Every structure is written in C-alpha cells, then in structure tokens.
Amino acid sequence: MSEQKAKKRFAPIQSESKHRMEEQKRESIPTIFLVMSTCGLASGAAETKQAFEEALSEKSIAARIVPVGCIGHCYAEPLVIIDHPTAGFPPICYYQINADRARILVRSYLEGGDPVLKYVLGAMEENDLIPAVMDFPRFSLEQRLVMEHCGLIDPDDIHQYIARGGYSGLVKALDSDPEEVINLIEESGLRGRGGAGFPSGRKWRIARTAEGDGKFVICNGDEGDPGAYMDRTILESNPHQLLEGLAICAHAVGANQSIVYVRAEYPLAVKAIQKAIKSAKELSLLGPSILGTSFSLEVSVFQGSGAFVCGEETALIQSIEGKRGMPQHRPPFPVEKGLWGRPTVVNNVKTLSAVPPIMVRGAEWFRTIGTERSPGTAIFSVVGNVKHPGLVEIAMGTSLRTLIFDVCGGIPNKKEFKAVQIGGPSGGCLPASFLDTPIDFDSLTQAGAMMGSGGMVVMDEDSCMVDVSRYFLDFTQKESCGKCTFCRMGTKHLLNILQRITKGEGRDGDLELLETLSKDIKDGSLCGLGKTAPNPVLTSLKYFREEYEAHINEKRCPALKCRALTAFYIDLEKCARGCEVCVGCCPVDAIFTTKGRKKAIDQELCVKCGECRVACPPEYDAVFKVSPPELAPVIERPPEDIKEKK
Amino acid sequence: MIKLIVDEKEIETEEGRSVLQACLENGIFIPNLCFIKTRQQPHASCRLCFVEIEGFDRPVTSCTEKVREGLVVRTDTPPVRRLQRMAFKLLMSGHPCEAKVCPVKGGCQLIRTAKYLKVGLNPKPLEFLEREVEEEVDLTFFTYYPFRCVLCGKCVYVCREKNEHNLLTFAQRGFDTVIGFFGDIDPTDLPCHTCLACATICPTGALIPKPELTREAKSNP
C-alpha cells in the first residue's frame, strides 16, 4: 500500500478541477450564487433565477448564475451571493431576494456598481466597506465540518468539491490499510449522528471482523422527524462529501456494495445524489477498481416510501428487502446479520459526512472540537419560535442558551421562552431551567431529552405543553408499524388520554395512568420507536405538571391554546361604538350588536378562530381571549337580533 | 445439554433453545401468544413472555434470549408481572370478547393468560378502544374477525412456511393494523382448501374457515 497508487491517479483529476475553477476566476465576470435547494425553491428561488436571467440578457450583462445548495439560513431565503470582481467589493450575501429585488440588483449593482446596502446580509470576506457575515453570531458561533461546503458549491459539479479539497480523504484511505482507517475513526471518538450515539469506529470494526461475504454499507437518509431537514439539506447541497464518507467506510469494513436510502419525498435530494454517483463514477471515484486500486464499490439509491419507522435500521433493511417495514428484535444486530443476512453497517448521513474531514485532518484535530465524550459538531434544524430559524452546525458542548439566543437570535415578538423539544417525537421537552445544558449525547439524555437526529423545536409562552405532547403522540401513534402490543395499543391510549385532557375532559387519575403507561411502553416495546415514543409525555409531565393539572382540575389552558378550554369576548368599555370591523371578518356570524351599539360574541356560535382579535383595530384592542371559557362575560343577544337571524 | 436455573429450580435443555422454549418444555409456563418454536427469528411482538435474567437491569422477552450455561431466570417478579399485565390489558382494550361467547373450544389463549396473570378480561383501568373495522371480514376461504385478532402474526408465518409465499399478510399500520389476504388471485389455484394452517394456529379464533371448506378438507385429507 506504500506506493500511493490512488494518490498518483488522483493528482491529475485534482489539478483539472482546480484549473477549471481558476479559469472561471480569470474570466472576471460577476458570479451569482443562488440557493436552489428545497428551502430556497419554496421561498421563490426559481422566480428569482428567472428574473436574474431576464434582467441580465435585457441589459446584455455577462454574468454566471451558479445554483448552489443550502447555506442553512432559512430565514433569509431566497439567498443570493454575488461576486462582482470589478466593482471593488468582496462577494456579498443578500437576503430575501425575490424577482423584483433581483432586477434591482442587476440594475444597481451589476450595471451601476452600487451594492444596494438595504438588501445586504453581509460580506463574505472581511473588508473595510461592508460588515462581514463572519462577525455575526449566526455565522461566528457556528463551526462547520459536515456543512463546510454546503451553500458554497454547486452540488451537481463534482469539480467544485474536488477543487475545495474533496475526495482527498478517500484517496488517503485507499492508500492506507483498512485497519488504520478504523483505528483513526475509533481514536477520533466519532459517534453515530442518527440519535443513539453509538461509536462509529466500533461499529465498523465489528462489521470488518464479522464473518460473511458480500458486506453492505447503508447510508440512512430516512429522515422523518417533524421539522427536521438536516439530511435532506446535506444530500441536496453536498452529496459528494457523503459519498466520500460512504466509500471510506466501505473500504474500511470490506464492503463492495452500498445503498443510499433516501425518502421519495425528497425528490431534489434523490436527483442530487444520483447525479453525484454518476459523476463520481465517471472520475473513477466510485465503481469498479476505484482510482486503479483493487477496491470496487457499487452505490445505488433506494427510495423509501415515507414510513417514519423505516428510519429504524432493522425496519429499513426489511424495507430494502421488499418486506413490510417492521423492526426486528436485536440482536442479531445488522453489523452481524443485516441486509440479505450479510454484515451491514448502517450509518446516518451526518455520520458518514463527518468522516472525510477526520480522514484528512486527523483524529486529534477532531477531538479538539466538541467535548471529551462527544467530539465533533452537532447539526440541528432549529425551527419554531426563533428569529433566525435554519440549519446550524455547532461544536458539541455548546449550551442550549447559546444556540437558541445567540446563534438563532432568541424568541421573536417579545415573547418569553417556554420550552425546547429536542430529538423530535422521540425526544423530550426541556424548560428554561435547562437552557445551560451543554448539547452533547450524554447531557441531553440525562436531562430526559435525547440528541436524536437533530430536530429542535423552540416554543414560546403561547405553546401549551399538553397540546404539544398530544401533537407528538398523534405522530408516533400514526407512524407505529403495529407490530408490538405496547406501541400499537399503548401509544393510542396515550393519545386518547391527552386528547381528552385538551378537550377539558381530563379526569382524576389520568396523570398517574399516563405515567404508568408511558413507563411500561418504554420498558416493554420492541424497537426504538416505541421505547422513546412516551418521552414527550414523560418530560412535559415532569417539567410542566401544573399545566396538566390546570387542564384537568380547573378546565383551564394556561397558554390559551386548547380550543375547548378558551373563549373570546369583547370588552364593552373598549369597544368603539359603530365600528364593524370584527363583524365583517367573523366566518360564522357570531358577532352581534348590543343595545349600546357595541359588539359582543355569541358564545354558542363562536368557533374560536381568533379572527376578530386580529382584526380589532389596535387603538381599541377590545377582543380578549380567556381560559376557562366561563370567564367570558355573558351578554345576551337582543331578541330582535335573534328574530332577524331566523 | 445446558443447565439453567429458573425460579430457583434447575432445568436442562439443549443448546440453541430460547429461554421461553426451555421453560415451556420443562413445564414452566410463561404467557405467550406469538411464539412458534420452529421459527428462527422470533417475532417478539406480543410482549407477554417477559422474564428477569440476572445481569439485565430490566425484564427481557424470553423468546429472544438464548439459553446459556448457568443462566439465572425468574418468571414471577413484580416488574415482570407489571409488564405482562399491562401488555395483556392493552391487548384486551382492543378485544371485546367474553369468555362465555368465545368460539375456541375450551376457551382461547387469552382466557388462560388472564387466569395465569390473575387479571380479568376487561382492560381496566384502560378504556376500551373503538376501532373502525368491520365485525367480520370475508377472506375468500375464511372469515376474519378483527376484534378477536391480537396480531400475533402466527398465521402470516405459517402461511409463508407452508406455501413459500404469503397469502396472508399484515395490512394497514399502527392501531389500524389488520390481517389481509391476497384474494385477487384465482381462488381455485390456492392451496387454502387443504392447508388450513393459519386457522389451526390462531390462538384467539380470529380466522375461521368457511364451513364448506372445512367439510372439503375433512373429506380429502
């Protein structure tokens, strides 16, 4: 292995890629990098692209439009980076560029040289003219290893990844002994990013020593948590880093076949990964005898049909085998007996994508990031009530407070922070007293939540914790495969009890029953879905018990969320005589005129949509929401009004 | 031969057996619904056969644990009973049958389990769960009673074993899971007339062959 066969074969490919990039730079025409992943397209990036193209051809300006993946700043989509080398500015990042703004940018900046400061998010490099994005906490507190190139390269162009150092990890692995590679991953302390945090090096070693030919490596991209989209973004934005990690893993464990399991609901991700496989094969970075070595690797894409439970590795394997996606008892673990009975490594998208940087920069470097027991970075899709939602990659050990308040800008609309749900439907809800908890596998588990695959939902004071639990149980209950008794029947019971409580039909003993049932489901279920499904209930009962009690004992929803436990009323003191705004917006004609020519709500007709509260002019602000509903003052409808209605 | 200790009694069994099978063969009853001794990979779905094994911090299903020399097993500890009773009540919350009307001769496996666990056939304190399924479903050769079915999966397994491919399978998911039948094949080509394996193995009388079929099966054994 000492002759560095792969390195020799790779050198011309690498210089070709670098050459291409340099050529482009030498042309010195403006480059418009446009985020064209799912999030960008959903915010109108396709219209933005069209507007750019039209405006450029109208003005006959030569410029290159490069579609790139997601940079993680969802709040700023459609996001555009313009590199205009002759204007005297560094590359500039613009936010929320719709079609109109695109035309303005072409006219003012590309033609006129004025960078239109009001649309600028920041400059991509330090300079004296425009504040750089690197100085904002949303950028500076992040540490990107897995997402290093995401949003900066065209995922369809393999040369852009190679020019930035891509595939040199694989080259290094190919020129090393597989044992050394496994040692390196073990030393790095990399743990599985799918949720459980199993040491990846150990998994690889078991697979390598497992008896049996035809080993498999499967990349688990069956991301299904509500509000989570880390894997999708990585697949769409930089599929090559994942493929590189996959190939390193396969080489290390001695597998020649691999499968990328992606949900069919991620059509862009499927397309991106298929294209990436094709271009990597063309350059002999995948396929038969890679870079002239004796190592061959077939990669195929398997599209999952969208069952949450197929994210569980044994169910995922069943589904590839064409069977019903039902989890199997472990052991035997897939590393011993997996797909078609062969030893199979199942690793998450983020785990495999973390491998190439470790390969290149070493285990020691990796251990300098993160904590002792959880080295490296964590990727979260932070959603819910935060100012700057999006995809964030931070070093393990960062506190929840830093992530939510500094990186993501805190809670909007001057509301108070209430809770954060970490780990999706299998995770737990943590209250404000846990904000200083460091984000790592062990601390989060200890707090009753879990790392999960990276979904994080931030909730403000208007969220009802009973309703949140009900929401998650509704999800797990629907996604249960129906195999084992505890999950199939137990989650349904939990949901029914929670539904009753949110409707004001909670009873004495409900909370105790929720607790016993949750504990038994955790201990008795067959797979991870059932074992973790009660977590939202258990943690919210632990940290927000008084909210459950208010629902049951006082029929009151403290967050004013549960419809059956709230009512709207109009304060006659504040209501303006003759104003009709609320009447016009009520969809069920529940608002009537009182004797004093003010307005009141017929509680029998009201569907509690809250439109009147939104519509009431701020100078009156006369509509109030209360819980329990009995707090709303009763105002009789004038008899003539009733007659008229009939 | 392997020796293990179950409830302070030493028993002997062969290597490769599951703890559940070893116990059952030695006259030690452990409640179970989905266990089939010839099945390589246990289905492990009914969650009734919990035991405590020294070295594990919580109860484990005995069908999935292989016997080992010197294993110390307890079948009757409070944590074991807690899980077994809850699993049983969960099953009964979707199974409105009464002992009096049970179609299975001598009462089905559930009645035996209730007696063993010293619990009633009602799901209390759980509520009975309403299911949106028909009382009786026509599966060409059989009548399927979803309310009696506990989804142990034995019928699906034996069907595959005897016919090399599934004629019966699980359909729907979660709480709505039922047993389905690939009934759109020409029924005359199907081996169901003479097979009857699924109906025979069903522990709760949820699959009943249509009378004309039983008559035929009896006349051509």
CATH number for the domain spanning A74: value is 3.40.30.10
Chain B residue whose CA is closest to A517 = B86
Chain B residue whose CA is closest to A341 = B41
Q: What angle do CA A332, A336, A341 make, to 5 degrees?
A: 85
Q: Is residue A608 part of a domain?
A: yes
d(CA B205, CA A484): 19
Q: For residue A28, count CB atoms less than 10 angstroms from its CB and return exposed for 0-12, middle for 13-18, buried for 19 or more.
A: exposed
What's the confidence (pLDDT) of residue A645?
54
User: Residue B192 is encoded by which pair of tokens?
Assistant: 């169901």
Indicate whether A118 and A207 sit together in one domain: no
Residue A388 pLDDT > 80: yes
Residue A523: which of B58, B129, B151 has the nearest Cβ? B58
What's the confidence (pLDDT) of residue A28?
85
Indicate whether A543 and A570 sit together in one domain: no
A513–B125 C-beta distance less than 8 A: yes
What's the confidence (pLDDT) of residue B183?
61
Q: What angle do CA A89, A91, A95 make, to 5 degrees?
A: 115
d(CA A229, CA A38): 10
User: Residue B173 is encoded by which pair of tokens?
Assistant: 């998911």
| Residues with Cβ within 8 Å of residue A512, at least 6 apart in sequence | none
Q: Is residue A143 part of a domain?
A: no
A479–B46 C-beta distance less than 8 A: no
Q: What per-residue string of b and e applies to A609-629 under the rule 16 or more CB within 10 Å gives b? A: eebbbeebeeeeebbbbbbbb
Residue A486: which of B47, B153, B177 has the nearest Cβ? B47
Three-state SS for A211? coil
Chain A residue whose CA is closest to B49 = A524
Q: Is residue A145 part of a domain?
A: no
Region A469-493: mean pLDDT is 96
Indicate whether A228 and A350 sit together in one domain: yes
d(CA A223, CA A94): 30
To the nearest whole Å, the CA of B218 is away from the closest chain A CA by 34
d(CA A194, CA A94): 33
Overall fold of domain B137-219 = Alpha-Beta Plaits (3.30.70)
Q: For residue B185, count CB atoms less than 10 angstroms from its CB and return exposed for 0-12, middle for 13-18, buried for 19 or more.
A: exposed
Q: Which residues of B touch A524 (CB under 8 A)?
A: 47, 50, 83, 86-87
Chain A residue whose CA is closest to B174 = A482
Three-state SS for A252? helix
Which of A318, A473, A483, A499 best probes binding to B when mutated, by most B CB atoms within 10 angstroms?
A: A483
Please enumerate residues of B whose Cβ is less than 8 A from a Cβ of A: 41-48, 50, 58-59, 61, 64, 79, 82-83, 86-87, 90-91, 93-94, 125-127, 129, 150-151, 153, 169-170, 172-177
Which residue's structure tokens are 């029998």?
A: A604
Residue A234 pLDDT > 50: yes
Write the Ramachandran bin of A365: left for phi over 0, alpha for psi from -120 to 50, otherwise beta. Answer: alpha
User: Residue A42 is encoded by which pair of tokens?
Assistant: 């959903």
B172–A482 C-beta distance less than 8 A: yes
Q: Residues A410-449: pLDDT tens digits? A: 999 999 999 999 988 989 999 999 999 999 999 999 988 8
* CB A473 within 8 Å of CB A533: yes
Indicate whether A323 and A415 sit together in one domain: no
* CB A540 within 8 Å of CB A531: no
What's the confidence (pLDDT) of residue A275?
97
Q: What angle do CA A34, A38, A43 make, to 5 degrees?
A: 70
Tell me, rounded to whole angstroms, the distance of Cα B47 from its chain centroid. 10
Lowest mean pLDDT among A231-245, A556-570, A572-586, B98-112: B98-112
Regarding beta strands A390-395 and A257-263, do their DSSP bridges make them parallel or antiparallel, or are they unpaired? unpaired
Residue B151: which of A482, A496, A525 has the nearest Cβ? A482
Residue B42: which of A329, A486, A490 has the nearest Cβ? A329
To the nearest whole Å, the CA of B103 is away from the closest chain A CA by 23
Strand order in the sheet with B207-209: B137-139, B142-144, B207-209
Indicate whether A222 and A361 sit together in one domain: yes
Q: What per-residue string of b and e applies to B116-149 under the rule 16 or more CB within 10 Å gives b? A: ebebebebeebeebeeebeeebebbbbbbbbebb
A479–B127 C-beta distance less than 8 A: no
To the nearest whole Å, the CA of B219 is away from the closest chain A CA by 36
d(CA A314, CA A323): 11
Regarding beta strands B50-53 and B72-74, do their DSSP bridges make them parallel or antiparallel, or are they unpaired? antiparallel
Residue A486: which of B42, B58, B87 has the nearest Cβ? B87
Single-letter residue type at A520: D
d(CA A83, CA A62): 13
Q: What's the mean pLDDT when you consider all of chain A?
A: 94
Single-letter residue type at B80: V
Q: Which residues of B touch A496 (CB under 8 A)?
A: 127, 129
What's phi and psi for A226, nearest 5 deg?
A: -60, 130
**pLDDT tens for chain B, residues 1 to 221:** 999 999 999 999 999 999 999 999 999 999 999 999 999 899 999 999 999 999 999 999 999 999 999 999 999 999 999 999 999 999 999 998 777 778 888 778 999 999 999 999 999 999 999 888 888 998 888 899 999 999 999 999 999 999 888 889 999 999 999 999 876 667 777 888 888 999 999 999 999 998 876 665 555 54
| Residues with Cβ within 8 Å of residue A441, at least 6 apart in sequence | A191, A197, A373, A374, A396, A451
Residue A524: which of B86, B93, B177 has the nearest Cβ? B86
Residue finishing a domain among A441, A463, A485: A463
A523–B173 C-beta distance less than 8 A: no
Q: Which residues pair with A428 in a beta bridge?
A: A422
Parent domain of A381: 377-463
Residue A10 pLDDT > 80: yes
Region A397-401: mean pLDDT is 96
User: Residue A332 is encoded by which pair of tokens?
Assistant: 């035997």
A482–B173 C-beta distance less than 8 A: yes
Diameter of chain A by CA atoms? 98
Residue finishing a domain among A367, A400, A423: A367
B170–A324 C-beta distance less than 8 A: yes
User: Residue A558 is encoded by which pair of tokens?
Assistant: 């403290």
Lowest mean pLDDT among A96-105, A199-208, B193-202: B193-202
CATH number for the domain spanning A399: value is 3.10.20.600
To the nearest whole Å, the CA of A553 is away from the closest chain B CA by 20
Chain A residue whose CA is closest to B165 = A323
Q: Is residue A334 part of a domain?
A: yes
To the nearest whole Å, the CA of B39 is away from the closest chain A CA by 13
d(CA A396, CA A371): 6
B174–A329 C-beta distance less than 8 A: no
Chain B residue whose CA is closest to A325 = B173
User: CA torsion B80→B81→B87→B92, rounded to 10°?
Assistant: 170
Indicate whether A131 and A278 sit together in one domain: no
Q: Which residues pair with A122 in a beta bridge?
A: A93
Q: Is residue A154 part of a domain?
A: no
> What are the structural domain ranges in chain B?
1-130, 137-219
d(CA B28, CA A470): 42
d(CA B63, CA B47): 10
What's the confidence (pLDDT) of residue A227?
86
Single-letter residue type at A374: S
Question: Which of B52, B74, B63, B47 lies closest to A520, judged by CA?
Answer: B47
d(CA A67, CA A84): 16
Overall fold of domain B1-130 = Ubiquitin-like (UB roll) (3.10.20)
Chain B residue whose CA is closest to A324 = B170
A484–B175 C-beta distance less than 8 A: no
Return the higher-pLDDT residue of B211 and A563: A563
Which of B19, B33, B35, B45 best probes binding to A when mutated, by most A CB atoms within 10 angstroms?
A: B45
Per-residue pLDDT band at A1 (split at 50, 70, 90):
very low
| Length of chain A (residues) | 646
Please enumerate residues of A whose Cβ is less than 8 A from a Cβ of B: 307, 324, 326, 328-329, 477-486, 488-493, 496, 509, 513, 516-517, 520, 523-526
Indicate whether A179 and A304 sit together in one domain: yes
User: Residue B116 is encoded by which pair of tokens?
Assistant: 């063993």
Neighbours of A417 (CB within 10 A): 20
CATH number for the domain spanning A203: value is 3.40.50.11540
* CB A600 within 8 Å of CB A594: yes
Indicate whether A200 and A109 sit together in one domain: no
User: Residue A522 is encoded by which pair of tokens?
Assistant: 């955790």
Q: Which residues of A touch B39 (CB under 8 A)?
A: none
| Residues with Cβ within 8 Å of residue A191, at least 6 apart in sequence | A197, A198, A199, A200, A374, A375, A376, A441
What's the confidence (pLDDT) of residue B133?
87
Q: Is residue A160 part of a domain?
A: no
Beta-carbon-side half-sphere exposure of residue A15 (alpha carbons within 13 Å): 5
User: Residue B20 is encoded by which pair of tokens?
Assistant: 């559940």
Indicate whether A434 and A312 sit together in one domain: no
B175–A488 C-beta distance less than 8 A: yes
Indicate whether A293 and A236 sit together in one domain: yes
B153–A524 C-beta distance less than 8 A: no
| Length of chain B (residues) | 221
Indicate whether A95 and A213 sit together in one domain: no
Region A169-175: mean pLDDT is 97
d(CA A467, CA A460): 13
B82–A480 C-beta distance less than 8 A: no
Query: Is the Cα torsion angle A358, A364, A367, A373 positive or negative in sign?
Result: positive
Q: Residues A103-149: pLDDT tens digits? A: 999 999 999 999 999 999 999 999 999 999 999 998 999 999 999 99
Q: Which residues of A touch B126 (CB under 8 A)?
A: 493, 513, 517
* CB A78 within 8 Å of CB A97: yes
Give the total number of structural domains in chain A.
Answer: 5
What's phi and psi for A513, nearest 5 deg?
A: -65, -40
Indicate whether A450 and A487 sit together in one domain: no
What's the confidence (pLDDT) of residue B184?
67
To the nearest whole Å, the CA of A472 is away from the closest chain B CA by 15
Distances in Å between the alpha carbon of B216 and those of A13, B202, B212? 73, 20, 6
Number of inter-chain CB pairs under 8 A, A vs B: 98
What's phi and psi for A626, nearest 5 deg?
A: -135, 160
Percentage of residues of chain A with pLDDT beyond 90: 90
d(CA A258, CA A352): 12
